[in-house]
């Protein structure tokens, strides 16, 4: 199946490659391999086939297999936030914040805002306030030396 996937990708037949990836996932018991295949299939559906619904399902399945899969969490968070799917979004954002590179202030601010808004929509006022305030902590004025 792996060889067929590579052949389809080389030919640019992304529909067959993506469908073969979803079939291949069912035939592996290795959780990391499952997550890799599901994510790759989701990416193919999103970027090559313009099928956001299928990609969303595959990214969500990736997180079921590997709850800390940042690469699947990022596009999933964007889709869930845009669509107002806050219940599903909250654990994804929690994971992304936990795993985020703290050196990238702009990305952290975006994640904090999304989690604050999500918490606000879910009626979790204390959590919302915490994350609405968090970007202010990230922005540190630079002192001239």
Same domain, 49 and 82: no
Rounded Cα distance between 4 and 16, Å, is 9
Check residue 142 and give its pLDDT: 47
Instruction: Please tell me the distance from the alpha carbon of residue 106 to that of residue 100, in angstroms, as a whole number.
Output: 11
Domains in the chain: how many in total? 2
Contact 124, 89 (CB under 8 A): no
| C-alpha to C-alpha distance for 91 and 77, rounded to whole angstroms | 10
Q: State which residues form the domain around 99.
A: 69-139
Which pLDDT does position 35 carry in this prediction? Answer: 96
Asked whether residue 145 is assigned to any structural domain, the reply reads no
pTM: 0.85
- Which residue stretches of the chain have pLDDT < 70? 135-145
Residues 79 and 39 placed together within one structural domain of the fold: no
The reply to whether 28 and 84 lie within a common domain is no
Structural domain contains residue 144: no
In a domain, 132, yes or no: yes
Q: State whether 48 and 91 are in the same domain.
A: no
Does 104 fall in a domain?
yes
CATH number of the domain that 32 lies in?
1.25.40
pLDDT at residue 135, rounded to an integer = 67
- Residues 46 and 73 occupy one common structural domain: no
Q: Please name the helix (run of DSSP H) or strand (run of DSSP E) that holds residue 40, with its range, or none.
A: helix 31-43
Question: Nearest CA to 62 among 107, 85, 86, 92?
Answer: 92
Give, as one character, the DSSP assignment of residue 43. Answer: H
The CATH code of the domain that includes 94 is 1.25.40.10
**Which of 11, 40, 66 corresponds to the end of one domain?**
66
Which tens digits make up the pLDDT trace of 57-79?
999 999 999 999 999 999 999 99
């Amino acid at each position: 199946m792996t060889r067929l996937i590579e052949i389809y990708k080389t030919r640019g037949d992304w529909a067959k490659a993506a469908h073969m990836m979803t079939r291949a996932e069912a035939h592996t018991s290795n959780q990391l391999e499952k997550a890799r295949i599901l994510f790759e299939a989701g990416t193919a559906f999103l970027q090559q086939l313009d099928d956001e619904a299928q990609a969303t399902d595959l990214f969500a399945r990736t997180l079921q297999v590997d709850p800390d899969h940042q690469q699947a969490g990022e596009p999933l968070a964007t889709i869930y936030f845009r669509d107002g799917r806050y219940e599903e979004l909250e654990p994804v954002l929690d994971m992304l914040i936990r795993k985020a590179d703290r050196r990238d202030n702009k990305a952290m601010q975006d994640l904090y805002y999304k989690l604050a808004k999500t918490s606000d929509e879910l009626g979790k006022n204390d959590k919302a306030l915490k994350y609405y305030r968090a970007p202010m902590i990230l922005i540190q004025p630079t002192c001239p030396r």
